[in-house]
Structure 1
């Protein structure tokens, strides 16, 4: 089931390490680092420069853990008391990471907002000492510098960063329902201005080094070095350290000023920002934009604005206090806990628990150059996989090739990659109308039409030309993989990989196994999915798998709600106010009404009356009239080709008038309509866990949020049930069951949770 904008919310979770600075030294730290050898922070003197190296030996990335903070405090005390040290440099011993922030678990361990506020205050005090250091400190940045890592860097007097693609700076706290809690809301506006600071903190986006320099986040850039006698990363780190040490010496010797003369335009901008009415207008504009985008479902953005405004209007002391108090309050909200849960879920779903396959996939083939096939090819060649894109016609191949090229070229125009990088990526792609070269393919992914006979034909053709180890993958959204594998001579090599559209933006990959799929085949699929940058859930085979099965419950109930006379605009508004990124009619149009119809019919056959709802004849008539959704320009709405604007399709409304049914007034309130939309989906998710379709609540929540756009503010269906209450949900569904029948009958596992109040999906 392909979902586009509806599930793109919070997609930046995919590419960043989200850790937050959450304090200084815990009062409960049982063993002082002064009593034991330092493991996370070391330093050496190079002439009169102290080079302080940061390295967490227990993790792939550096985080400001209790241990690192304790050792850093101890080291800085030694350096500041040494009269022979004139300057210092902070640098990481991990090439891909400066500091990614602090361990989120430090926040989660707190039992109250007051505890979290205390952590924030201690962190602020620590960085204030860095900011007011008696000697200049240079932050040498290579790799991720995020959250508390950036807050540490901007507390330093000078910053040098590499121009590597790995080097990114950012404040992603808002993505976890939090805010920068170690002075970031106070230092950033003064450093990059109000508009730039709000853009960073309210979006959580990453900033590359070159843009960071233009903004004023970084003072100097260093070119990464290519390979030589030593690996490129090692040489780059050595060169970065050499430059940073030189800069530190020159700052100490007054040869490099810490403040430079501002241009006329910069002085003019500063003067404008000194005007109270101008600042007031900025706060108002940003706040209105935030309310429109978040629909008041996420409290963190407003608290960020409040902290910045307090600091700018009432002074730093008031600003730091507001930051710490709001940080504490946000950490205790259900929204933050839900988003942090999703973060941990993503981390878990990005790990390869199976290990490498016996034979690594080096050559991939994709069948079908349509929207899905070409997109799958694109995310594969982008990661260096040699990929054959095959279709039956030259025209289809040309369109697929053009789509891939335009997508990459758009990144060149945005300066996200060079023309050379684009051409290098495109060189990994081969397009053809025959099976030549398939004899050396390690994996074949079919993205042909959802027809079992066509898929059987493809299976037989492929197996006649590929080597015996080759994995055959179906990118189906609902056809059981075992039915597709029935045509295979090697069913142990057959697996499903359900991608979501647009593939290059959507993070989720649903991998489907049958009872005959081998462990090595699964390992190959997981390995390729991780290379493609996907968040992976592994589900068992069955009609609709997991995400399609749950989403279509929502779709069928929405059709019935429309039949009862609820207007599309009202249902969309209610779905958005519940937390969906966009109206559910838009979700259906994004999926494609023809696809939704086909899948609904298959699931209705598989599950019988339990999988009924609205009259599918309505959807069939819409499809016959060409109302297939956004891809055809018409569905529930009519879409503009040049703009994002849409308007309700009046012909669709006329069709629904002929199928109108009555609805009991007792279940037509806004809250009841919202719960009807999602309760069947919630029950279906639990039923999938009960049946073993999904392995655990974590993968169930990740699949729902990143597959079909279940509201991130609720953390996914399983976390929502824990918060809402299983007993309350069952009671609500029983009311609906009395009216509509067994489509609302709670499954046994949900009933078990309702009976035992202590039973939760998450401990």
Structure 2
């Protein structure tokens, strides 16, 4: 179709170009110069207005089609770096008004405007598509549509809160905006978000035909439908959605409340008032510390994606070997095959381990098939990437081996020797150890430069973080190759020092130990856990121990005590839990009850036998704030030690590790950003007060004392960040 064009119109350095077909349909191509993906910038408002004005001057114009000039992206969102320049809520609100004005120009264009969507259509990109009179998307897997602003502590600020409920109804619109989740093409079509979904090869043709045939825009939903059945339905809807949202956020995410308020305003008082409320709320949210912290994490993870981990080009990994078919081995095989798209060869001592690992992937893929996110053919194709063996057949072709056997040094050293004997000389050996020093695992290796740590977190398919742990002799190319594989697996990879516990487990251990001390002092388990959940963690420390495995947690503690002293010692008497064969969820016996049915299963209940076992009479004595403070302050103190000892390369890496590895509250930005928020002097004062009450393990470290005295920040004010990603 593009060969049949006339009168191309372009402007130097503009992201928008216009040309016309002989059937009098204008095609506006969006192609931001010098960028991999399209993002909306503030200066584009004038460019869009200009291109629309030129199009309107064309005689006999039947309509417009908006399409991307990028191969895999429609518009990935708005460039949020422009938010950083806003000093006041009013300035941020003006950005929203500017965006609303541009979208209004598109919506009020006198002839049909159709968005032809292929690739990411997110945030401001979807708001632009919503302003069009129709939307057609490709059926490609790369195509996804959503409004993820809430994940940055914001709301859609260019009319999205008003247009989406009128298009698909308030219940569905609220669910999309409050979760920030994205939709595939067929999901979007079923929801009514798009008018058609077609193969990419006929996307433009379909959009042009829709305009040429003069098909009118789908009218907004009747008011009864968008209000969930009328005034009563609307009242009940907002009551229950607000109640459910608060139960999940515990009031820690202001954006969710603003989204509910703004949508309700638009439905109650009309879109004019809705747009004004949207702009005002957007400005207010930009100024909140929660949004600043969430945007900081976004900037940090974006910058980390561009880093190789070491100053060397990574080797190409074409095949991966896995040693061990247990829970971790099966999870690592799954993300390698289904996300990285690489063939995986699993080696286990028996066929049962291989079957277990294969079933792990099959079950995960089966869920996707049942929810229609994956075809049966694609499931079979991905499963064919995973094979197993009880010997080393096939390992001569693997480029990297991930070892996921038991935490036993001699066993892991023997695994290194066997891989050096049975795999190619180039093969990298990556150990998924959670605590053993990498230099010891490499101690007997003939090629120690190719030995590295690669610490995954369970469950592997859900937890986003991996720690990449080189020892002193690991080559730069081994580091960069391992980081590159982790990225292919969809992981956030931080490079950490070869030190006991590495980073995540080292900062987690004092947090868990203090929760145990609180329990032994008589604080009820659910009271402790609720305190930390209300602080912002996804689960409390005691429940986390159940989920990870009580036996796993207790194995790490002696290693940390040997390396760093008694501040890592588990409280006396706590070993009674493990002696009672309580391993947590995995053996159905832990701090909480498992295997319940009916109503009682919906709400996790504490096993009362645990109190008798520990000789404790549970009674809440401390407030939730005090309990959270005791646990979190120790984590902050240890995080600063890790930075000063170069266990982590930067405060940024530490914040990402804590948020993605143990669920440190994202709206607080991570341990280091949280210290900056509180002030190092206040953290020191709090630790000193806790030390007086509960013991010397609360003594503030030298690094905190130094920063408190000099008023130093981990993130200096006004520091610049090179960002090319978006909302």
TM range (shorter): over 0.9
Give, in whole Å, the separation in 2 of the partners of 1:35 and 1:244.
21
Q: Deviations over 1:610-654 (max 9, x none)?
A: 323522x42x32122221111111211112366554211122111
Please point out which of 693, 698, 713 is paired with 1:744: 698
Once the two structures are overlaid, the 10-residue window that deviates more, 719-728 or 563-572, is 563-572
| Cα deviations by residue, 1:184-231 (Å, 9 ceiling, x for unpaired) | 11111110001110111011000111121122211122113xxxxxxx
Alignment match of 2:209 (pick from 224, 237, 246): 246
Superposed counterparts of 1:91-490, under 5 Å: 91-224=67-200, 236=201, 239-251=202-214, 256-259=215-218, 270=225, 273=228, 275-353=230-308, 354=310, 357=313, 359-382=315-338, 383-490=340-447
SS of alignment partner, residue 540 of structure 1: coil
8 A Cα contact 1:151 1:184, kept in partner: yes
Structure 2 counterpart of 1:46: 21
CA deviations over 1:103-162 (Å, ceiling 9, x no partner): 111112100111111111121111111111112111000001110100100100111110
Distance 2:680 2:712 in 1: 10
Residues 89-98 or 741-750, more deviating: 741-750
Match of 1:622 among 570, 577, 585: 577
More deviation, 85-94/742-751:
742-751
CA distance in 1, matches of 2:560, 2:312: 35
Looking at structure 2, the residues matched to 127 and 561 of structure 1 have their Cα atoms a distance apart, in angstroms, of 55
Going from structure 1 to structure 2, the CA distance change for 1:35 and 1:724 (only over 3 Å counts) comes to farther
Q: Which moved more, 1:491-500 or 1:459-468?
A: 459-468
The answer for the alignment partner of 1:697 in structure 2 is: 651
> Number of matched residues?
703
Q: Deviations over 1:649-671 (max 9, x none)?
A: 1221112226x9999x9xx4443
Match of residue 510, structure 2, among 542, 553, 561 = 553
Determine helix, strand or coil for the equivalent of 1:626: coil
Query: What is the TM-score of this pair, normalised by structure 2?
Result: 0.93
Higher relative CO (Cα under 8 Å, sequence separation at least 6) belongs to 1
CA separation in 1, counterparts of 2:133 and 2:145?
Answer: 17
- Deviation string, structure 1 residues 468-518 (Cα, Å, up to 9, x no partner): 111001001111111111121111110000101111111111111111110
Measured in 1, the distance between the counterparts of 2:312 and 2:34 equals 22
CA distance in 2, matches of 1:349, 1:507: 13
RMSD after superposition: 2.1
Alignment partners' CA distance in 1, 2:238 and 2:331: 40
Q: Distance in 2 between matches of 1:272 and 1:443?
A: 55
User: Any conservation in 1 of the 2:227–2:267 contact (CA below 8 Å)?
Assistant: no
Deviations 1:596-617 (A, max 9, x none): 00001111111112323522x4
Pairwise CA distance, 1:242: 2.3
Deviates more, 1:91-100 or 1:398-407: 398-407
CA shift, 1:267, in A, is 7.3
CA offsets 1:11-66 (integer angstroms, 9 cap, x no match): xxxxxxxxxxxxxxxxxxxxxxx997233111111121111111112221110013
Taking the aligned partners of 2:226 and 2:510, their CA distance within structure 1 comes to 57
Secondary structure at the counterpart of residue 217 of structure 1: coil
Q: Give 5+ residue unaligned stretches, structure 2.
A: 1-8, 718-727
Instruction: Look up the SS of the partner of 1:366 in the other structure.
Output: strand
Q: What is the rounded CA distance, in whole Å, between the counterparts of 2:410 and 2:13 in structure 1?
A: 65
**Closer, same or farther in 2 for the Cα pair 1:274/1:465, shift >3 Å?**
closer
Task: Tell me the equivalent position of 2:468.
Answer: 511
Q: Distance in 2 between matches of 1:108 and 1:299?
A: 19
2:725 — aligned with what?
Answer: none
SS at structure 1 position matched to 2:344: strand
Q: 1:267 to 1:535 in 2, by over 3 A?
A: same
Is 2:527–2:624's contact at 8 Å kept on the other side of the alignment? no
Measured in 2, the distance between the counterparts of 1:361 and 1:737 equals 50
Distance 2:604 2:33 in 1: 53
2 CA distance for matches of 1:661 and 1:192?
A: 50
Tell me how far apart the structure 2 counterparts of residues 608 and 755 of structure 1 sit (CA, whole Å).
Answer: 26
Give me the whole-angstrom Cα distance separating, in 1, the residues matched to 2:608 and 2:632: 26
Is the CA contact (8 Å cut-off) linking 1:753 and 1:760 kept in structure 2?
no
Cα distance between partner residues in 1 of 2:169 and 2:10: 44
Q: Deviations over 1:367-418 (max 9, x none)?
A: 0000000110011111221110111011121122112111111111111111
For 1:267 and 1:711, locate their aligned partners in 2 and report how far apart those are by CA, in whole Å.
40
For structure 1, which runs of at least 5 residues remain unmatched after alignment? Answer: 1-33, 225-235
Alignment partners' CA distance in 2, 1:487 and 1:450: 17
The answer to whether the 8 A contact 1:495-1:522 is kept is yes
Q: Secondary structure at the match of 1:89?
A: strand
Shift in Å at residue 341 of structure 1?
A: 1.0
- For the structure 1 residues 279 and 111, does the alpha-carbon distance in structure 2 shift closer, same or farther, using more than 3 Å as the test? same
Write the mapping of 1:517-596 to structure 2, written as runs, cut at 5 A: 517-596=474-553
The 8 Å contact of residues 142 and 162 in structure 1, kept in 2 or not, is answered as yes
TM-score (structure 1 length as normaliser): 0.89
What does residue 36 of structure 2 align with?
60
Distance 2:341 2:609 in 1: 47
The SS at the match of 1:498 is strand
In the TM superposition, what is the alpha-carbon distance from 1:581 to its structure 2 partner? 1.2
What CA distance in whole angstroms lies between the structure 2 residues aligned with 1:270 and 1:635?
48
2:660 pairs with 1:717: no
Q: Is the 8 A contact 2:457 2:463 kept in 1?
A: yes
Moved more, 515-524 or 601-610: 601-610
Contact in 2 for aligned 1:412/1:419 (Cα 8 Å): yes
1:363–1:441 CA contact under 8 A, matched in 2: yes
CA contact (8 A) 1:39 1:57 kept: yes
Q: Are 1:612 and 1:743, in contact at CA under 8 Å, matched by a contact in 2?
A: no
Please show how residues 627-666 of structure 1 align to structure 2 within 5 Å: 627-640=582-595, 643=601, 645-657=603-615
Structure 1 residue 69: Cα displacement? 3.1
The structure-2 alpha-carbon separation of the partners of 1:757 and 1:240, relative to structure 1 and needing over 3 Å to count, comes to: same
